[in-house]
Each structure stands twice: as structure tokens, then as C-alpha cells.
Amino acid sequence: MLTPTEGTGHTEGTGHTEGTGRTADTGAEEELRIQYRIADLERRFGDPVDPDNPLGIDALLAADERGELLAEAEDVLADFQLNAEFVPRRWGGRLDRVDTMGRVLRAVFRRDASLGLGYGATSFLAAVAVWAAGTQEQQRRVAELLLGGGRLAIAYHELAHGNDFVRNEFRATEEPGGGFRLDGVKQVINNVVRAEALVLFCRTDDAAGSRSHSVLLAEKDRLPEGRLRYLPRYATVGVRGCQNAGIEFTDCPVAGDALVGELGDGVELALRSFQITRSVVPSMILGGGDTALRTAVSFALNRQLYNRSVLEIPHARATLVGAFTDLLICDCLALAATRAVHLLPAETSVYAAAVKYLLPKLLTDTTYDLSVVLGANFYVRGGEYGAFQKHVRDLPMISLGHAGTAACQATIIPQLPRLARAAWFTGPPAPDGLFRIRDPLPPLDPGLLELVATSDGLACSLAGAAEELAGDGGSGLSARTGEYGEALVALAGELEAELRGLQEECAAMPAKDRTVLASPRSYAAADRYALLLAAAACLGVWRNQGAGQGTGPGAGQGADRAADPHGARAGFLASPVWPAVALTRLAKRLGRPLPKLPAGWEEHLLDEVLSRYHEARSYDLYDTPLAG
Amino acid sequence: MVPQPTGAHVPDPPGTQAPMGEREFTRWLKARLAEFLGRPAEDIDPRTPFAEYGLDSVAALSLYGDIEDEFALFLEPTVAWDHPTVEALARCLAEEYASRGGRPDPDTPAEV
């Protein structure tokens, strides 16, 4: 039987904590542990493109064609105890940082999104409500289930109501003697048949409104026979290996202790849980983006057209460099959103929605651009480049799961007028820790997440950025801009001006535009806002690279360096090239005037793309060594 | 969980406004809801839940900010969920307002 450990949850080795404290030492150890975990997972999976690898792309594609998860791959994940990534350390798992979860899961998603969702992430989406609001007993049971290799299914949405899940009809009726009776149908629930327990979003009150639903944890082995039946599986365009089916409960009793949180707290709990899941799922799916780019690079290097390799075609080179830059942009935003869960929990509601909105959109656009490079090979479902079309099919499915684009925008829009009036250009900028890719974080505490953001440190960090880059802020940042100084100052100025314009527009947004009846203009405002957050994240990451950091509580940057096995390469993120190109791409999407970049930027980035391909290192901020 | 005043918008000092009672809050809420829903204020029934008018959960959350800006009443974001009609919310606001003696103090936000 599991019992929670005390403190912030360090149970292994010498990494104990003292007081508030993680010393620089534990920060370095923590980073090493994370790198070890990722390397371990990579090693177990092996080289994805090796045709003889039983866990390689060929085997995964074949399983996808069969509509199955690759059994051997599931065994590897069970052996690795992937589920421990979803269980808080105090319950014996390895979960203490949301950014780390995204990082580890990329190793799975870069091979197969179905596996990433179907083996693992789904269980976390379900469990997070229990970590946020469950009783000690519920948390213990869920931890035991997951650490024992079991599965948890999440049954929030109903097909008829989509993300308008407040209209959900699945009913849990309170019994006079305690407990509930379940009645109704939930469709398209991943793993519903093989999961040992379900986290159910149920109507517990007939009244219309946001206090009429509750979350229940239903463990199948505690339910009487014959009260539930499964409905046929749904065939899907993407993530074909995922086993999405329906479930119907008929007059099924559950005990009163199945209730997670308070009666009527369902919507609140969902909105709180979504802040964590919406932050971390986009980070995970960057692994798929890595594979899409890697596949296109492989094609560009190997394919001969017009007597030369595709890579020699200028458009192809530009596309590869653009895709790499987009992946960096996505990772910067994912980093800020996942670290905000720990560092800016009062602001995470907008950041989580922004990353869940923007990241799949950028990845979709990027993937489309890359598909042009692949040409006719884009349509081939097997072979060397077959992974690409699978990613194209999987990506929208993962994006839709648990929060569609419109639902995320609907979370952002009502918050914009208040942020515009009371936060932007007035609040403090985000702390440096938000952007430090390998720094430790304070413990995860879902109770600190607020339903509505009243400040916005990420957006505020754009204010004054141009002056700082120009050298007026005394930060020494201008010394790092080199020949990109002029472009970076101009871009930062454009972004700040864009935020000013957005502020004016949002402050004047009519009340009607905050509801689902919002005009397309409001949706455009949410889009601009998300792009600005991404830009702020890119600048923040770059600003926190290189010299002049390592002070302040918990910074541990020096130790972080020491922990970085390929520290010599840290120069890439510190150079001003990638942020200049990233901000240019974002400013272009925002329709701002673009400065001219110094010659040589494309070659610089292409060199990085190619060396990360040849040396098998990840296309994200972490430059992680990969198998194969 | 208590939202902190942001300080950017300074509401009129309460002394310069007419005293706010249930009736005044009802009138204000109906007008506000009418703006949200794009329909005349006369059509808003004070006893019909906001949700039945199509005000979604997240939009309802944003009402508390309007209340804060307008009346310097610092409430939970979920206030419109817990008092889900014009009538119920107006009563809640009137009580909050009265309990503060009409002199809200931004430094000590009320517990709800």
C-alpha cells in the first residue's frame, strides 16, 4: 500500500530538499536525472529508421494500418514505467515538473502519437483531476493503479455537446442513502474498454449553469455486473491505434467516495485540470514535429532531382530552416506555459489556452510547408518517408482531443479586455525562471491555479524589450546582439507596438464579443495575443541564455551548464540568429513590417538543422541526443 | 484564491455614487447581460439562469472583473456561477456592498 512521502517529494538518492530549498546542486542532479530518463527511453526504443528495429517506424506504421498500438512498444513503455511520469513523486511516481513530463513524452510522440496518447497521456489527462482535488484515498488508489501498469480513461466530453460540456447529459443521481446512480452514454473515450477506472464528468443537478456537474472516479472492479456496456469503437483518420469507443451506464450504483472534489465542482475542476493538460500536451506533440522535419531533411538529402539533391533547391532549404525555427518558437511557448504552471499559476489559464491553440496551428502550417518538399512522397503510406503522412493525420487528432481550437480561443477572449486594461504595460515582467530551460521549479500545486488571469507577466516582458536590446537598459543584452542588433531592436519595437494596438482594441471590446457569440474580430485578437506570447517566450529564452545568469534563488544555472553533456553547443541558443528569425516569422504572421536580416542567417540555421540530423539530436530547445 | 486589485482602473469613490441596493444592482446587471447577449435589457428575466441565455462558463467568469471595475467589490471569479441569475447575483452584490458600509477598501478584499 502506498503512503505519501513528506515534503516536496524528493525520495531518491541524495536529492533531498531543505526548507524551501533546492540548491544549485540538486538542480544539476535533477537535470541529469531527466536527461538519463530520456536517454534510457531512447535507448529502449532504438533507432526509429532502422528497418530491423522491431520498435522502429516500419513496425509502428504497420500497427497503425492495423488500427492497433504496437504491442512490443507498449511492453517497452510498461517496462520503463512510463505511467510513473504521470504520478506525483509523493505517491511514488516521477512527476514533479510539468515541463519535464512534456520533454520525456516527446521521445514517445516522435515515434508514434497513438502510443503517446493511447499508452500514456490519456491516463494523465484523467488522473490530473484526482491529483488536483481527490481525497488521499483516491490519490492513493489512482497512484497504485497507474504504477501497477493500469490505465485510467477520461470521459468528459459527449459527442453531441463537444466542448460545450456544461450541456452534458450523462447523469449521476445522488442516492438518498449516499452514493450515486450513473446513467448515460459517453462516446469516443480513449481506452474505455481496457482502462481499469474512469474519471467521469457527470451532471449532478438539473439546473442550467456551471455548478451542475461533478467529477466521479469510477473503478470498474467496484461496479456491479451488467450495469455497463461498451459501444462500438470509432474508426478515426489519425491516431488509428487509439482505442476510442463508447460506454453506456444503466442505473449503475457507485459509492459516495467516488466523488472527486465537491458536488457541483465539476466545471471548476475541469477548468483547473485543463490548465495543466493544455500546457503539457502541446509540449509532448513537438516530438511529432521533430519526426516530420527529420523525415523531410532525410528526403532532401537523399533525393536527387534535376541532377542535384533536393537540399540544393533554395525553396527546400528555406522550408527546412523555417520549420526548424517554428519548432523552436513552439518549444519556447510550450516552455513558458508548462513552467508557468509552477511559477505563474495565477496566469496559467490564458497561457495554457494560448499554447494549446497556437502550437498545433503552427505545427500544422509547418507540416504543410514540409509536405511540399516531399512532393509525391507525402502520399506514400509506408517506407522510408511514411512517418510523415502519419504525423499529418495524427496531429489534428491530438490537437482536437480534449480542447479544440475554438474552445481555447473561447477561454482566451473573455480575459483579454481585463488584461488589456489592467495588466499589459503595467504589471511586472515574467520572472527569468520561466525561460530557463533546465532550471528546477517549485513543486506542482494545482490548488494555486486561478480560473481567471489578472496579471500577464509574459506579455509584460515585451514592454521595454526594444530599449533593452538597444542597450538602454543596462542589462548588457545589446552586447549579445552583434550584427543582428538592429533587426532585433526593430522587431521588438514592432511587437511592442502590436501589443499596444491589441490593448486598445481589447480594452474597447464589447461585452458580446466575450461570449461564444464573439465576432471574428475577437478570434483574431486571440490569435494575435497568442503570437505575441510566443514572441515574448522566444525573447525570454534567448535573454536567459549565455552570460549574466545564475543568480537568484534556485537558479542553478552554473550547475545546469555542468550538467549539460553537450555544453559546447550551448552557443546556438545564445546566438542572436534564431531569435531574430523566429521574431521575423511571428511578426510576419502579425502583418508587421519586417526588418532586413544580415546575410548568412539561413546558412547558420541550415547548418544547425543538418548537424542535428547527422548527429541525431532533437529539433527543439533541448538539443537532446536521440537514438539513431 | 482572492483576486488582488490590479490598481489600473480606479473606480469612482463610492461616496460620489448613489447608494447601491438590490434594485440598482439588478438594473446594472440586466444592462450588462443585455450587452453580453446582444438583446434588449427588458427581455432579461431576472430569474432565468445566465446559462439558459447562452452565457458560457468562461464568459460568466469575466463578469466578476466588470463588477470589480465598476463597484470595487472584490469577489471570487466564480461569483456568477454561485449566483447564476440576475436576481441572485444582485442580492449577493447588495449584501457585499452593504457589509462594506458602501466603502469598499481595495486593500482588504472580501472573503466570499
**SS3 sequence, A67-111?**
CCCCHHHHHHHHHHCHHHHHCEHHHCCCECCHHHHHHHHHHHHCC
* Interchain proximity B49–A511, CB inside 8 Å: no
* Interchain proximity A452–B60, CB inside 8 Å: no
CATH match for A24-150 among 1.10.3720.10, 3.90.1150.110, 2.60.40.2700, 1.10.540.10: 1.10.540.10
Which residues contact residue B84 at a Cβ distance below 8 angstroms, ignoring those fewer than 6 apart? Answer: A207, A208, A209, A210, A211, B49, B50, B51, B60
| Nearest by Cα to A258 from A350, A421, A137 | A137
Topology (CATH level 3) of domain B19-99: 1.10.1200
Question: What CA–CA distance (Å, rounded) separates A510 from B85?
Answer: 21
pLDDT at B17 over 80: no
Q: What's A18's DSSP letter?
A: B
The grid coordinates of residue A198 equal 474512469
In angstroms, the separation between the Cα of residue B30 and the nearest Cα of chain A is 13
In angstroms, the separation between the Cα of residue B5 and the nearest Cα of chain A is 9
Which residue of chain B has the CA closest to A452?
B77
Question: What CA–CA distance (Å, rounded) separates A368 from A596?
Answer: 26
The per-residue pLDDT for A499 is 98
| Nearest by Cα to A454 from A336, A337, A350 | A350
In angstroms, the separation between the Cα of residue A211 and the nearest Cα of chain B is 6
The per-residue pLDDT for A166 is 64
Per the prediction, chain A carries an average pLDDT of 88
In a 13 Å sphere around the CA of A575, the CA atoms on its Cβ side amount to 13
| Pick from B3, B52, B57: CB nearest A267 | B57
| Pick from B6, B36, B57: CB nearest A210 | B57
CATH classification code of A154-263: 2.40.110.10
Polymer length of chain B = 112
Answer for the pair A555, A25: CB distance below 8 angstroms, yes or no: no
Tens digit of each residue's pLDDT (9 = 90 or more) over A6-23: 443 343 433 333 344 444
Which residue of chain B has the CA closest to A413?
B59
**Percent share of chain A, pLDDT over 90:** 71
In angstroms, the separation between the Cα of residue A339 and the nearest Cα of chain B is 20
For chain A, how far is it from start to end, CA to CA, in angstroms?
A: 40
* Interchain proximity B38–A268, CB inside 8 Å: no
Question: What CA–CA distance (Å, rounded) separates A289 from A56?
Answer: 17
The per-residue pLDDT for A561 is 38
Which residue of chain A has the CA closest to B81?
A210
Residues in chain B within 8 Å Cβ distance of A427: 6
Tens digit of each residue's pLDDT (9 = 90 or more) over A263-287: 999 999 999 998 999 999 999 999 9
Name the pLDDT band for A219 (thresholds 50, 70, 90): very high
Backbone Cα Rg of chain B: 13
Which residues contact residue A83 at a Cβ distance below 8 angstroms, ignoring those fewer than 6 apart? Answer: A93, A120, A123, A146, A147, A149, A150
Number of Cβ within a 10 Å radius of residue A161 = 13
The per-residue pLDDT for A516 is 72
Which residues contact residue A181 at a Cβ distance below 8 angstroms, ignoring those fewer than 6 apart? Answer: A172, A173, A175, A251, A252, A253, A254
The per-residue pLDDT for A8 is 38
* Mean pLDDT, range A228-253, rounded to an integer: 88
| Pick from A422, A451, A517: CB nearest B8 | A422
Residues in chain A within 8 Å Cβ distance of B41: none
Written as one letter, the residue type at A126 is A
Which residue of chain B has the CA closest to A210?
B81
Of the two residues A145 and A477, the one the predictor is more confident about is A145
Which residue of chain A has the CA closest to B53?
A208
Phi-psi region of A425 (alpha: psi -120 to 50; beta: other; left: phi over 0): left
Which residues contact residue A16 at a Cβ distance below 8 angstroms, ignoring those fewer than 6 apart? Answer: A10, A26
Which residues contact residue A373 at a Cβ distance below 8 angstroms, ignoring those fewer than 6 apart? Answer: A296, A299, A300, A310, A315, A316, A319, A320
Bridge-partner residues for A185, per DSSP? Answer: A248
Which residue of chain A has the CA closest to B61?
A452
| Pick from B4, B32, B49: CB nearest A454 | B4
Diameter over CA atoms, chain A: 80
Angstrom CA distances, A596 to A487, A514, A599, stand at 7, 38, 9
* Mean pLDDT, range A510-520, rounded to an integer: 82
Phi-psi region of A205 (alpha: psi -120 to 50; beta: other; left: phi over 0): beta
Question: What CA–CA distance (Å, rounded) separates A186 from A168?
Answer: 9
Residue B100 CA from chain centroid, whole number? 15
Residues in chain A within 8 Å Cβ distance of B37: 512, 515, 517
The per-residue pLDDT for A555 is 35
Lookup result for grid cell 461533478: A214
Question: What CA–CA distance (Å, rounded) separates A86 from A98?
Answer: 9
With an 8 Å Cβ cutoff, the interface of chain A facing chain B consists of: 164, 166, 207-211, 267-268, 271, 410-411, 414-415, 417-418, 421-423, 426-427, 450-452, 454-455, 510-512, 514-517
Tens digit of each residue's pLDDT (9 = 90 or more) over B43-62: 999 999 999 988 888 889 98
Diameter over CA atoms, chain B: 38
Q: What's A595's DSSP letter?
A: P
Residues in chain A within 8 Å Cβ distance of B52: 208
Which residues contact residue A176 at a Cβ distance below 8 angstroms, ignoring those fewer than 6 apart? Answer: none
Of the two residues A406 and A544, the one the predictor is more confident about is A544
pLDDT at A191 over 50: yes
Residues in chain A within 8 Å Cβ distance of B1: 450
The ipTM is: 0.81
Answer for the pair A60, A112: CB distance below 8 angstroms, yes or no: yes
Residues in chain B within 8 Å Cβ distance of A417: 62, 65
pLDDT at A565 over 50: no
The backbone torsions φ and ψ at residue A304, rounded to the nearest 5 degrees and listed phi first, read -100, 125
Of the two residues A556 and A451, the one the predictor is more confident about is A451
DSSP3 helix / strand / coil % (chain B, rounded to 5):
50, 0, 50
What is the dihedral sign for C-alpha A97, A98, A100, A101? positive
Angstrom CA distances, A306 to A246, A320, A378, A379, A556, stand at 52, 19, 19, 21, 52
* Mean pLDDT, range A78-105, rounded to an integer: 97
The per-residue pLDDT for A52 is 93
Q: Which segment of A76-80, A182-186, A218-222, A304-308 scores lowest on mean pLDDT?
A: A304-308
Burial class (CB in 10 A: 0-12, 13-18, 19+), A553: exposed
With an 8 Å Cβ cutoff, the interface of chain B facing chain A consists of: 1, 3-4, 6-9, 32, 35-38, 49-52, 54-62, 64-66, 69, 77-78, 81-82, 84
The grid coordinates of residue A245 equal 469507443
pLDDT at A560 over 60: no
* Interchain proximity A208–B51, CB inside 8 Å: yes
Q: Where in chain A is the domain with CATH 1.10.540.10?
A: 24-150
In angstroms, the separation between the Cα of residue A347 and the nearest Cα of chain B is 12
* Mean pLDDT, range A504-526, rounded to an integer: 88
| Pick from A417, A423, A511: CB nearest B32 | A511
| Pick from B52, B60, B65: CB nearest A210 | B60
> Taking CB atoms and an 8 Å cut-off, how many pairs form between chains A and B?
98
| Nearest by Cα to A270 from A315, A225, A203 | A203
* Interchain proximity A422–B78, CB inside 8 Å: no
Written as one letter, the residue type at B88 is A
| E-strand stretches of A461-594 | none
**A314-319: long-range contacts (C-beta < 8 A, 24 or more apart)?**
A315/A372, A315/A373, A316/A373, A317/A602, A317/A606, A318/A602, A319/A369, A319/A370, A319/A372, A319/A373
Residue A540 CA from chain centroid, whole number? 18
Answer for the pair A190, A234: CB distance below 8 angstroms, yes or no: no
The per-residue pLDDT for A546 is 67
* Interchain proximity A414–B61, CB inside 8 Å: yes
Lookup result for grid cell 522510408: A384
Question: What CA–CA distance (Å, rounded) separates A70 from A59?
Answer: 7
Which residue of chain A has the CA closest to B37?
A512
Residues in chain A within 8 Å Cβ distance of B11: none
Which residue of chain B has the CA closest to A415?
B62
Number of Cβ within a 10 Å radius of residue A136 = 10
